[in-house]
Structures are given as C-alpha cells and as structure tokens.
Amino acid sequence: MDSRSKTLREKVIFVAEHGQRGHLPSAMSLIEILRVLYDEVLSFDVGDPWNVTRDRLILSKGHGCIALYVLLQDMGFFELKELENFCKFEGKLGGHPEYHVLPGIESSTGSLGHGAAFGVGHAYSSRLLGKDFQVWVVMGDGEMNEGSVWESLMAASHHGLTNLNFIIDANGKQASGDSSAIWNLGNLKNKIESFGIKSYECDGHDVIALENVFKQMISDRQPSCLVARTTKGKGILKLEEEASWHHKSAISSDEVATLRKNL
C-alpha cells in the first residue's frame, strides 16, 4: 500500500473517530477505486461542481460513503470540518450520502439497487443535452442481489449508453457473511457480459490496473462494467476478518487507536 492509499485510509478512521460509527470495511475496500477515479479519470471543477459537463460519480453502495466523503474533501469539494461532523445532528454528511447536501454528492443512496437506474438517466441525458460526459456507478457485489440493478443493466445495453460505466466493488462479503454463501452469483463478469455490457475484471486495489481498465472503459463503444476484486476492510486485519465491523456504532477511542496502529 502506497502512502496515498494509507493517508486516505487514515482519514477514513478520522471520520469514524468523529462520528463514532460507520461502515468502515465497506469504505476501505473502495479506496483505490475512488482514488484512481478522482485522481486520474473524472473530469470535474470544484469551483463549479454542478457544471453540466462534469463527469458523474454515483455511489450506489451508499454505505461505503466515508470513502467518498474523504475523497471529495481531499479534492477540495468541502472543508475538513464537514468530515468532523459526520453523522452529527447538525452535520451534513450522514451514514449514507444525500444528493446535493454538499458539492460532489450526486445521489441519495443507502437503500441498495438505486444507483444504476439513476446512472442510466444521467447517461441518457448526456445524449439529449448534446454534452459529452461520463457516468460512473459504483455498486457492491452484495448489491447485485437487487433485481432493480439487472433491470438497469438491460436498459443500459438496450440504449447503447457508451458513456455509462459500472464498477462493482466485489469484496466478496456482505452483512451476513460471504456473498457466495448467501446467494452464489457464479461468474459475475460473464453474467454481466451476457446482458450486453462490456465487462472487465481486475484487482481493485491495484491502482495501475484500475487506471488502465477505466481508460479502456471510456473508450469502449458500449456500456461497460468492471468487477473489481477487493478485500473488505482492506488495510486493517481486524476489519478484514471480523464481520461484526460491517457496521459499527459507539466506536471507542481505544478501538480507534487499535485501527490506527494496525493500518
């Protein structure tokens, strides 16, 4: 893990420390995916965050929002104090993202299976507006249990939305345990490919591989999807191994210290 990935993860812990809660492992598995998108791929202007030509990033797996908040703050969309107010009564950043509460937050998610359809609407809008922007929808592999996602994959394919890119943070785990034990989806890449979506698979923590695939996805002449193989809780053994950390509340200062020490 390089220093940038480590720094971002430290900030995830910082947010959880202030909010004393969060879906930490789900955020940790997303770090490299979001980092590469914001650092290398997405087109945006923090001074004009809702410009119609911006690329859209919809975090459909809203419970991974701490990673999104950290990246948005790191990019300068909002001040550090917003992170300090995570989940606080007067705070703007909640345990799941809310559309427009702060610049850069493109959708209200938290109930799974919503982001794909919203992304199809954005991608189709670019055609109607005559504006050339990319739409990225980040989902979880557990989220692929939702039937609505597959409705939207069919629609994306039917409409030939070449500017629509799905990413599945395939960390192999969901709230109750291993995703394959809950519903074994088989070969996810092939399944998605069979819906008419150009599909890829790579190590979701390998920043070079991610950048290469993302650039390929943009140049594809059909909607595309990356199944990014990740580790839930990546970087902290406790988060990787203990399912009870899926969502944790009342996180103590001792627990925070342990997380920091073990990163």
Binding residues for other proteins, how many (CB under 8 A)? 30
Cβ contacts of residue 191 below 8 Å, gap of 6+? Answer: 185
d(C-alpha 29, C-alpha 60), whole Å: 14
Among 5, 20, 85, 125, binds other proteins (CB under 8 A): 125
In angstroms and rounded to an integer, the radius of gyration of the C-alpha atoms of the chain is 17
1 binds other proteins (CB under 8 A): no
88 binds other proteins (CB under 8 A): no
101 binds other proteins (CB under 8 A): no
Among 36, 120, 192, 209, binds other proteins (CB under 8 A): 120
Which residues between 197 and 256 bind other proteins (CB under 8 A)?
none
Among 49, 113, 140, 223, binds other proteins (CB under 8 A): 113
Residue 38 per-residue DSSP state: I
Cβ contacts of residue 170 below 8 Å, gap of 6+? Answer: 140, 141, 188, 204, 227, 228, 229, 230
148 binds other proteins (CB under 8 A): yes
Cβ contacts of residue 129 below 8 Å, gap of 6+? Answer: 52
128 binds other proteins (CB under 8 A): yes
Q: Which stretch, 100-108, 180-188, 222-230, 247-255, contacts other proteins (CB under 8 A)?
A: 100-108
Q: Toward other proteins, which CB reaches closer, 122 or 229?
A: 122
Among 111, 176, 187, 216, binds other proteins (CB under 8 A): 111
Task: Count other Cβ atoms within 10 Å, centred on residue 178.
Answer: 11
127 binds other proteins (CB under 8 A): yes
Q: Which residue's entry shows tokens 């954005």?
A: 122
107 binds other proteins (CB under 8 A): yes
Among 108, 145, 212, 222, binds other proteins (CB under 8 A): 108
157 binds other proteins (CB under 8 A): no
d(C-alpha 47, C-alpha 69), whole Å: 17
147 binds other proteins (CB under 8 A): yes
Find out whether 180 and 172 touch, Cβ atoms under 8 Å.
Answer: yes
Q: Toward other proteins, which CB reaches closer, 122 or 198?
A: 122
Which residues between 9 and 68 bind other proteins (CB under 8 A)?
52
What pairs with residue 166 in β-bridges?
137, 225
Instruction: Name the E strands within the chain.
Output: 21-22, 56-59, 135-140, 164-170, 173-174, 177-178, 198-203, 224-229, 248-249
Applying CB under 8 A, the residues found at the interface with other proteins are: 52, 98-100, 107-108, 111, 113-114, 116-129, 147-148, 151-152, 154-155, 158
